[in-house]
Structure 1
Amino acid sequence: MTTRVTTKGQVTIPEEIRDRLGIGPGSEVEFLATEDGVRVVAVSENISEEEASRRFSRLLDHMAGTLDLGGMTTDEYTEWLRGPRENLDID
């Protein structure tokens, strides 16, 4: 999707993107420069708990299967992440 920048420096965010990010009238967005270009991020907004839950579920569904633990159990993976713990002074 491409859009033009107006003489006032304004752009129209396509409807598909606004819907996906939950951007509506009065919403705030942040433009973040990246090595590949720019990211548009919706700044926190007041949404219902139900909508937040739906968005979180969609995110989890999108992320499903993206982490390969190489056959490790959850406990083994946690131990690998934390590193050696034998030198901790716990009273």
Structure 2
Amino acid sequence: MKAKVAERGQVTIPKVLRDRLGIRPGTMLEFCEKSGKLIVVKMEEMDVVDKVYGSLSSGRRSDDILRELRGES
């Protein structure tokens, strides 16, 4: 599937993908670049208690954990 980038950098995610992946207004997406390609990942929804507990449990920042999971240094 293809999409054109608008003047302000906006892209419309095709409806079939939004429906299949459960992407709705307010859904958080993460953008990263790997080997010259843009990767878009739907972030898992967490409840507020899980977010707070998760941030306190390891003492590590979520960005550092995500980099580690992606294999980035």
Normalising by the residue count of structure 1, what TM-score does the alignment of the two structures yield? 0.45
Structure 1 segments, 4+ long, off by >2 Å, are: none
Which protein shows a greater Rg?
1
Q: Give 2:16's aligned amino acid.
A: E
Structure 2 gaps of 5+ residues are: 47-73
**Matches of 2:39 and 2:19 in 1, distance apart?**
16
Partner of 2:44: 44
**Matches of 2:42 and 2:8 in 1, distance apart?**
21
Q: Identity of paired residues, percent?
A: 46
**Matches of 1:9 and 1:32 in 2, distance apart?**
15
Structure 1 gaps of 5+ residues are: 47-91
User: Which has the higher relative contact order, 1 or 2, with Cα contacts under 8 A spaced 6 or more apart?
Assistant: 2
**Matches of 2:20 and 2:38 in 1, distance apart?**
17
**Matches of 1:40 and 1:33 in 2, distance apart?**
9
What whole-Å deviation, never above 9, does each CA across 1:13-41 have from its counterpart, x for those lacking one? 01111122211011111112122512211
Partner of 1:18: 18
* Partner SS, residue 18 of structure 2: helix
Partner of 2:9: 9
**Matches of 1:21 and 1:37 in 2, distance apart?**
20
Normalising by the residue count of structure 2, what TM-score does the alignment of the two structures yield? 0.54
What whole-Å deviation, never above 9, does each CA across 1:48-78 have from its counterpart, x for those lacking one? xxxxxxxxxxxxxxxxxxxxxxxxxxxxxxx
Q: Give 1:41's aligned amino acid.
A: V
